[in-house]
A = this chain, B = another copy of it.
């Protein structure tokens, strides 16, 4: 177990609840942790999948490179939320990229080791299945839901996501550009700006550059739901 501290990691419960002490030691000693600064590319689409990765702290975006210089953001993710389960067991190479939106730290465990553990430890395997099931189910639901909303509803949804799920308060600095919001919810940058301005004029939010202050959260929820 040498200088390994997984035993006390908050995130241990995420995956390794059912891993015996001996096995945890194995995972832990092979584990690597890396730091990324805001804007850094963490995983590049098309490269070989070698590791099972999960976010320890920070905020990231998963996105597809569409080739023509455009990106399509699949989702934003935080610790306990980003776990690289999307296609790592079915593909040889990544079908999307991951980049840091805020300073982040990430743990790496060799994917071969994880595969070995799946074969050996049924409880671990079942845990992983459950997690994968939940993550992909949520992603599919969210994607379908956003697709049904009009543009105002989509912007309201994004603002509420940051307020409720990321920063837990109605005032926050947007960690993403207007363009990135557009890439997440399938609309143009101009319309993101236009609708934010509309919300400002309607007294629903205040805007100071990246800073957003939600004034009327009820109204925003209405728009998100029925928009």
Q: Which of the 9-residue segments A5-13, A19-27, A124-132 touches chain B?
A: A124-132
A7-51 vs B, CB cutoff 8 Å, 1 = contact: the mask equals 000000000000000000000000000000000000000000000
Which residues of the partner chain B approach A131 to less than 8 Å between Cβ atoms? 90
Of the four ranges (under 10, 10 to 19, 20 to 34, 35 or more), the interface on chain A belongs to 35 or more
What distance in Å separates the Cβ of A158 from its nearest Cβ neighbour in chain B? 16
A194 within 8 Å of B by Cβ? Answer: no
What distance in Å separates the Cβ of A70 from its nearest Cβ neighbour in chain B? 9
Residues of A at the B interface (CB closer than 8 Å) are 64, 66, 72, 74, 85-91, 95, 115, 118-123, 125-126, 128-134, 136-137, 139-141, 143-144, 147-148, 186
Contact indicator A137/B74 (Cβ below 8 Å): no
Query: Secondary structure at chain A's binding surface: helix, strand, loop or mixed?
Result: helix
Contact indicator B72/A133 (Cβ below 8 Å): no
Given A118-B122, A133-B132: A140 and B89 within 8 A (CB)?
no
Please name 8 pairs of A and B residues whose Cβ atoms are closer than 8 Å in the assembled complex, sorted by A.
A72-B144, A88-B133, A89-B126, A90-B134, A115-B126, A132-B133, A136-B140, A147-B147
Nearest first, the 7 closest Cβ-Cβ pairs linking A and B are A119-B122, A125-B125, A90-B133, A90-B134, A136-B136, A89-B133, A87-B137
User: In the bound complex, what is the Cα–Cα distance between A147 and B72 (angstroms)?
Assistant: 11
Given A122-B121, A126-B115: A140 and B86 within 8 A (CB)?
yes
